[in-house]
Structure formats: C-alpha cells, structure tokens
A and B are shown apart, each in its own frame.
Chain A
C-alpha cells in the first residue's frame, strides 16, 4: 500500500508537485499517468526518499522509505536516475546490490533468469542495449522479492516482446496481493495493464480512480432524428451533454435511453433510431480533456 499525502516540492521557481495526494492499494496495478514534466518522477523520488518534499508525507506500508528496516526487501524500484558502471558485468552489478542489502547471492541467478538476461550477465553493462539495461534495472528491483514495485517509465526501451513480458509481470505481481505503481506517459501501456489510474498534470493530481470508473463504463445514448433543432433544444433543456455526430446522429451523455425515449415522446419529436453505446470514451479522450497535453495530429 502506497499513500502520498499532500506532497509539495519546488525546484527553484518551479513547483514540481503541489499538494499531490493519492494511494496505490495492494493487489492492483496502479498506473501513474501524466504528460512529460507533470511531476511523476518527482513524486516517485519523494516516495523513495531520494528527494525531500517541502511539505506532505509519502508512505509505503505506513512508513517513510527511510524508516523501512530492510528497504530492498520491501520496495523494488526502477527509476530514471539509476545507472551502471560500464566496466562492471550485469551479474556483478546485481551481486553488489545483493551484498549491500544482505540478500542471498543465489537470488542474483534467479532474477537474471527471470528477466531473461542470464546469457548476457557476464558481459560488461557498458555494451548493453537500452532494453537490456531496462531488464537489468528490473532485475535489481526484483532482487529482494519486494512487496511493492515502484517503476518509473518501466517500458522505456523494451521491444514488443519485452512489453508483453512486463505487462504479465505487473499483473502477476498484483495478483499475488502485492502493490504495483508504475508511471508512464504512454496511454496504451496504462490502458492495457492498470486496474487503477492516477492522472497528474502540472504537478497536481487531476483524477484518480479505477479504470472502469474513469472511462470504461461510460454509457452514451445514440439517437437519430430529422428534427435536429428541436432535439438539440430539448437536450439543453433536460441538461444532457449532447454531441452531434454526423447529419442526423446525436451522442447523448448523462442520461439513459429510457429517459431519452420518454422525453422525446413527450416533446413529440420523431426518432429514426434510439440505442445505447458502451465505452465510447477512451482513456485518450479523458487524458486529453484533463491534461494540458496536446493531441498531435
């Protein structure tokens, strides 16, 4: 369980995060979504004790990171500022981390196999591809078999097979009752795997909730009528959100098809179609509505 409570942090004149509050419960994958520069990495760095917040607290299982007795066994993290000595092999990098954290050396081989890096483990990390580096970072996060995974843009540099593998890893981790919080600026990654979504923009959380609540079950009523003007006036009077979609087609939100049918009958408007649609609104629509990210045509 991760809880971020009213966290603020300013770098110079720039407010990186302002009063950020959200939680990531155990047993679900939480996606932390926001445009570049929205404050995702700053928030994760504060959670990990790498940056000090000006205000607020960030807790993992009820404690700040620095208070965790064996942090590597509780939290596995991948964050952008982690690197490798180019002259050290991947295996030795993991041995160093395991040694410092008091983790059994046998775990090194286990995680190397798990991230499918055993074949390259005895080569210097300086020669690794970006995807291999990302796997090595993940391996080092998994060394302590942690209850909490905290990953900053973990899909960066992974090929499609790697992405599929990562999605399975996150889902399996949460299915075991553990906590997963991962950040991304790529909508499809979040859409595929997150059960719960936190959207951040310009340092503030703009929406938080289960994927279903946020966009999945958004119902819309679709009607067709030749009496366009009167239908639009009626929709406004009833307080529905209406969008004209083509010459005679309307998509109405904020009501049910039964209520639309009754109101239309009362008003004496003839319909040529009345139906309902499910999930007409995508995460992309929501994201573009809520954030300052621009859609690139």
Chain B
C-alpha cells in the first residue's frame, strides 16, 4: 500500500494541477477572510468577541471545494486520461486502488487545509490590526475553527476521490458536488432543518463553527462527513469489482 500512496503523490507532483488548485484555494481563502472582516467591521460587530471570531474565521473553509476538485481528479481523472487501465494492471485488487486514492486525497487535503488555515489566520491578524483590533490568539474558538477547516478540506478531498471512483467522470463529480453544496442542499436544509443538519454541507459548517445557524458539534460533524466518504468508497469498491475497467 505504501507504494501505491507514493505513486499517487508522484502522479500529483508530476503535473501542474495540484499547484494551481492550491493557489486557487489560498486565494479564495484570503478573499473570503478579507470580505468577512470588512463586512463584520462595517456591521459594527465586536471582532474580538467569540461571535466576531467565528464570523470572520468560519469562511476559511470556503477554499476546501478545491480539494474536492483535486480528489475527483485523483480518481476520476484516471478515466479522462485513460491511465486507469495501468493502475488496475499494477493493482488488480481494485479496493486497494480506491483506498489509496481516498487516503491520498485526504492526506493532501489536510496539507492544503493547514496552508489555507494558516493564510486565513495570518490575514485575519493583519486585518484586525488595520482596523485597530488585536486578534485574540488565545481564543480557543479560533484554533477549533482553523483545525475544523483543515479537517473539512481533508474530508472533502476524500469525498471527491470516493465519488470519482464511483462515477468515473471528473466533470460530473465536480459539477454534481458544486450543485449539491452550493444550491440543492440549502433548499433541503430550508425545508427540513432537523434532517438537513446531517447533510454533508451542513456538517461542514458545523466543523468550522459557522455562527449562522444550528449545526452539528465538531466531533459529530467530522464523523458524519467521514461516514459519507467511507460509504461512497465502499459502494465504489463493490461496483468496481463487478464492472470492467
């Protein structure tokens, strides 16, 4: 399995895709944090309060969608460029291919998430100073949110990779998840809030202590998202064993 993880990392390092996605993720995170600080300050919110910190920092998860895209490329991208045959020839036990891709996406997702969270923190501290505030580095919420954002990136990466193994079409996976997370899920949450808390997007908002609504607590949110990724991965393995490569 170590060889398979190493090969997946090598695949990512030998094309430019990963670099562009990381750049996009950091840029979006920076933009989101800047916007959040400016809007909160304009609304005369106390930026140093717990609510203020949550309002500003929970947007540091917005770039995590790029990790989902990366996860989809790691798995479904193999069908786009027809390299999946090579993978299955090297590793005929297909569950190992699916597992290696899931693990790689989750691992790279953590790294991306930490880099994005670091960007969010540095930028927030800088903007606080500009607005005449001191960023409350001792606030436990701040660190919980940043940790949650890194974890969210990792879990979205796993979700993207698992769905990509199942669907085998990276455009369909990416468009499908974007439509779900940005559009469809909000409608479902609006119609049935109690049920909606358990959906992946809402769980993600729980992970970053989003102050705008009633979401799952962090451990439950992480468990829910991980369960989605693992359930889809198992489904992908079951289907993959039966179908032709």
Contact = CB atoms under 8 A, between A and B. Distances in A.
Interface of A: 45, 48-52, 65-66, 68, 71-72, 75, 77, 79, 81-89, 92, 95-97, 99-102, 140
A52 B15 CA distance: 33
B14 interface: yes
B139 interface: no
A206 B244 CA distance: 26
A82 B83 contact: yes
Interface string B8-23: 0011001111000000
A77 B87 CA distance: 12
B89 A72 contact: yes
A87 B82 contact: no
Contact of A49 (B7, B83, B92): B92
Main secondary structure of the interface of B (DSSP, over half): helix
Given A96-B11, A99-B6, 7 more contacts: A49-B92, A50-B85, A51-B244, A81-B82, A81-B85, A83-B82, A96-B7
A88 B85 contact: no
A50 B3 contact: no
Contact of A82 (B3, B7, B86, B92): B86
B240 to A, nearest CB: 12
Contacts of B81: 83-86
24 contacts: A45-B244, A45-B245, A49-B88, A50-B85, A50-B89, A65-B92, A66-B93, A68-B92, A71-B89, A72-B89, A82-B83, A83-B82, A83-B85, A85-B77, A87-B17, A88-B11, A96-B10, A97-B86, A99-B6, A99-B7, A100-B3, A100-B6, A101-B3, A140-B86
A200 to B, nearest CB: 19
Size bracket of the B interface? 20 to 34
Interface of B: 3-4, 6-7, 10-11, 14-17, 77, 81-83, 85-93, 242, 244-245
Given A50-B245, A84-B83, A100 B92 contact: no
B94 to A, nearest CB: 9
B40 to A, nearest CB: 41
Interface centre among B4, B82, B89, B93 (most CB of A within 10 A): B89
A66 B95 CA distance: 12
Given A88-B14, A100-B90, A50 B244 contact: yes
A34 B188 CA distance: 56
Contacts of B11: 85, 88, 96
Contacts of B3: 99-102
